[in-house]
Each structure stands twice: as C-alpha cells, then as structure tokens.
Amino acid sequence: MQENSIKLSTSYAVASKVKDYSQLMKFNLTFMVVFSSVVAYLLVPEVEFNIIKVLLLFAGGLLVSGSANTINQIWEKETDKLMARTAVRPLPAGRMTEGEAIVLAIITGVAGILIMGYSFNWLSAGLSLLSLVLYGFVYTPWKKWNSLAVLVGAIPGAMPLLIGWAAGANTLSEGGWSLFAIQFLWQFPHFWAIAWIAHKDYARAGFKLLPGNGEPNKFTALQAVLYTLLIIPAGVAPYLLHITGRISAIVAILAGLFFLYRAINLYRKSDVPAARKLMFGSYIYLTIVQLVQLLDKY
C-alpha cells in the first residue's frame, strides 16, 4: 500500500510539474502561432510536404515561442498577481521559482533556435531569435509605457510567417512579406478586442494597451474597423503574387468582410459582448484564411 501511495504521489507531482511548464510556455496559444509558421513554410513554391520537416518546424517554433512566453511571465510575475485570470499561473502562485523559469527559458530558447538552424537554415534561426527578443524584452516591458506596445508586439506576433517562409525559401522574398502583412494587420483588432474585454484587469496591472486615452470607447472601435478594412486587400496579395489560387483570394475577401462586420458591430455597440464577438471572429478569420491558402497553393 505504501509503495502504491508513493508511486501515485510521484505521478501526481510529475503531472503537476508538466502542467505548470505548459502554463508557463502557453502551449495552447503557442500551437496556433506555430501553425501559421507551418502554413507559410508549406506555401513556399518549391517546398513539398514532408512530415519530418513539419514536425521539426513545430518543435522549433514551440520551443522558441514557449521561451518567449516564459520570459514574458518572468517580467510580469508581480503584475500577474493583480489579475484574476493570471494569478493562478505558476510564478505568481508560488508553484515555481523565478530561477527555475529562467533556466527553462534559456534551455527551450537555445534548443528551438538550434533546431531551426540545423534543420532548416540560419536565416530562420536568426528570425526566431529576433522574434524572441522583441517579444520577451521589448514588447513585454513596453506594455506599461504606452499603447504603442501593441504595434511593437504585432511584429513578433506576425514573424512566425516570415520564419516559416525563410525556413522553406532561405530568403525573405515578397511572398513571405505578404503573409506577414496579413497577420501583422490582424493583430490590432484581435488584441484590442481582448484588451477591451479584460480592460479592468489590465488597468489594475498598469498595462496601457488601448489606443487614444486607453479607454474602451468608439475611438478604439474605429481603429479596429480601419485595420480590419486593410486586411481585405492584404488577404488578396498572396494570390496576386501567384502563391495561392483564386479560391483563396475569394475566401480572404469574404472572411475579411465578416471580420469587418464584427469590427463595425463593436463600433456600433461599444460593449464587451461585441468585443468578445470580434475576438472570436478574429480566430475564425485567421484559421479559415490560412487553411484555404494551404489547400489552394498555386
């Protein structure tokens, strides 16, 4: 009985530690980010599907993004204690030491960059390092200075597309930039919708993420409308560059109009339910557009 109890206790401790590492590296969120990198890689004209390469790209991307997310939580350990949704994270809850988190960030970051360099090329590895630095050491502290943090954060947020393209093409040609542009513009309405919903928590923590005076108002909603409007022509660019086919362009326009409708609805109603619909609409837009681009490769 005692031996069984020890085994169960050990298993529970291991499971809890794995769960904490997963929370620290934000694997659920990171999966979507890395998926966009794989899409860009597979859209490179000369690249054929190879399961080993795709898994290596996933591994490298997950490790680098996980490292960046860990650095983010190390910076925000104290502010996370002030917000209900983040107070249960491993660092603010005291389930993990800062030293342990730093070691994890270093190991995963270095491992991810080496995977990108040796499995693909050093251009993609360099871009991965740049993305990690921008997110972990520029965007994260900037959030307490002013709302331009969203602009800064949109760069590493869209860089997985450039990383994936570079991994396949070993160059930063216009195809990669066109994919980058879509996700770069997408970041603004997506993140402002989240900041609108969590405004009280963010304000309590001292984060300045909404444009203008930092309040959820019609000016913020208007900014979201303008960026979703820009996404529509940006979504057609990969077709014009002969990366994807005509169907993907039509779908990008229709999905963009749907996204724009959700942003206009936020401008009209200016409330949390409308912001939540815009947030979910942003996920729908990006998922549909990227899947169709992949299926409609030129």
One domain, residues 139 and 201: no
Cβ–Cβ < 8 Å for 263, 65: no
Cβ–Cβ < 8 Å for 234, 181: yes
| Residue 9 maps to a domain | no
Cβ–Cβ < 8 Å for 87, 56: no
One domain, residues 36 and 120: yes
Cβ–Cβ < 8 Å for 38, 32: no
| Residue 249 maps to a domain | yes
Q: What is the pLDDT of residues 35-61, one digit of tens each?
A: 999 999 999 998 999 999 999 999 999
Q: Would you call 258 exposed, middle or buried from its count of C-beta atoms within 10 A (0-12, 13-18, 19+)?
A: middle
One domain, residues 246 and 289: yes
Q: Would you call 48 exposed, middle or buried from its count of C-beta atoms within 10 A (0-12, 13-18, 19+)?
A: exposed
Cβ–Cβ < 8 Å for 104, 70: yes
One domain, residues 122 and 216: no
Give the rounded percent of residues in the chain with a pLDDT score beyond 90.
Answer: 67
| Residue 164 maps to a domain | no
pLDDT of 188 > 70? The answer is: yes
- Give the torsion through C-alpha atoms of 17, 92, 277, 142, to 10 deg: -120
Q: Which residue has the tokens 């990171």?
A: 30
Average pLDDT rounded to a whole number, residues 230-235: 97
Average pLDDT rounded to a whole number, residues 208-228: 90
**In this structure, what CATH number is given to the domain that contains residue 135?**
1.10.357.140
One domain, residues 72 and 114: yes
| Residue 153 maps to a domain | no
One domain, residues 125 and 185: no
Of 205, 229, 257, 238, the closest CA to residue 45 belongs to 238
Specify the number of domains making up the chain.
2
Which pLDDT belongs to residue 5? 53
3-class DSSP state of 244: strand
One domain, residues 195 and 109: no
- What are 20's two structure tokens? 């904490």
Q: ∠ at Cα 235 (231, 237), nearest 5°?
A: 120
One domain, residues 243 and 126: no
One domain, residues 133 and 210: no
One domain, residues 177 and 295: yes
Partners of 244 in the β-ladder:
297
Q: What is the mean pLDDT of the chain?
A: 90
| Residue 14 maps to a domain | no
- Tell me which range, 62-66, 89-93, 146-150, is most confidently predicted by mean pLDDT: 62-66
One domain, residues 191 and 83: no
Measured in whole angstroms, the distance separating CA 97 from the mean position of its chain's CA atoms is: 25
Which pLDDT belongs to residue 12? 54
Report the distance separating Cα 247 and Cα 7, nearest Å.
55
Average pLDDT rounded to a whole number, residues 62-80: 90
Residue 267 belongs to what domain range?
Answer: 173-298
One domain, residues 136 and 181: no
Residue, of 105 and 212, whose pLDDT is higher: 105
Report the distance separating Cα 244 and Cα 278, nearest Å.
27
| Residue 296 maps to a domain | yes
Q: What is the pLDDT of residues 104-162, one digit of tens each?
A: 999 999 999 999 999 999 999 999 999 999 999 999 888 888 888 899 999 999 999 99
| Residue 8 maps to a domain | no
How does DSSP assign 101-135, residue by residue? Answer: HHHHHHHHHHHHHHHHHHHT-HHHHHHHHHHHHII
Position 20 confidence tier, pLDDT thresholds 50, 70, 90: confident
pTM recorded for the entire structure: 0.91
Of 3-7, 258-262, 287-291, which gets the smallest average pLDDT? 3-7
Alpha-carbon Rg for the chain in angstroms: 20
